[in-house]
Amino acid sequence: MELLKRAGEFHGDICGGIVMGTKLAIYGMETMGMTPGEKDKRLIVFTEIDRCISDAILSVTRTSLGKKSLKPMGYGKFAATFVNIDTGEAIRVIDLGANKKDMEEEEDETVEELIERIAKTPAEDLFEIQKVSVKIDKNDLPGKPLEIATCANCGEVVMDGKHHLLGGRAYCTSCFSGSYYKILDE
């Protein structure tokens, strides 16, 4: 309950996604032999969706973008993968309810009712766990930066091996393969 409250505070409110994400993250960490709500240096989490559920996963697992322990994958799927970087053990946890095509029966449920129902339901009935293996590039692991380059075109610094080599020179992704932004003329 404390973890749910904390996730709600982080997210802004306790919505359905926060309820499910909190339970999912607790289940994931416990299955990995870790303590939910506590930072664990061995843990890297891949979240697959940019929605409420991922805020709860972030809050419960204490992972962060800045520590390189949280990897948002943007797959648009209700699942997250927990990796122990010491042992290589990894599990992908899938929210079964969010994957049901027929969600009508729960449509009228209030958040309070949802919290109660989820608290009473065993995690095994709500989520599926897949044992997986995840290859993580050494540049994507937490710790000191291994590779730093400067883009030969725009002159900006590119960290963590994210540069592209062409004709022996380093380029940033924007200059190499196009960017998500377009610079406007002043």
Question: Which stretches of the chain bind Zn ion, using CB under 5 A?
Answer: 15, 17, 52, 151, 153-154, 172, 175
Specify the DSSP class assigned to residue 50. S
Least CB distance to Zn ion at residue 67 (A): 23
> 169 has which bridge partners?
166
Q: Which is nearer to Zn ion, 82 or 171 (CB)?
A: 171
Ramachandran region, residue 73 (left: φ > 0; alpha: ψ -120 to 50; beta: rest): alpha
**What does each C-alpha distance from 36 to 74, 84, 97, 176 come to in angstroms?**
24, 14, 22, 41
Q: Which is nearer to Zn ion, 91 or 170 (CB)?
A: 170
Q: Which is nearer to Zn ion, 132 or 154 (CB)?
A: 154
Least CB distance to Zn ion at residue 109 (A): 15
Least CB distance to Zn ion at residue 129 (A): 24
Least CB distance to Zn ion at residue 174 (A): 5
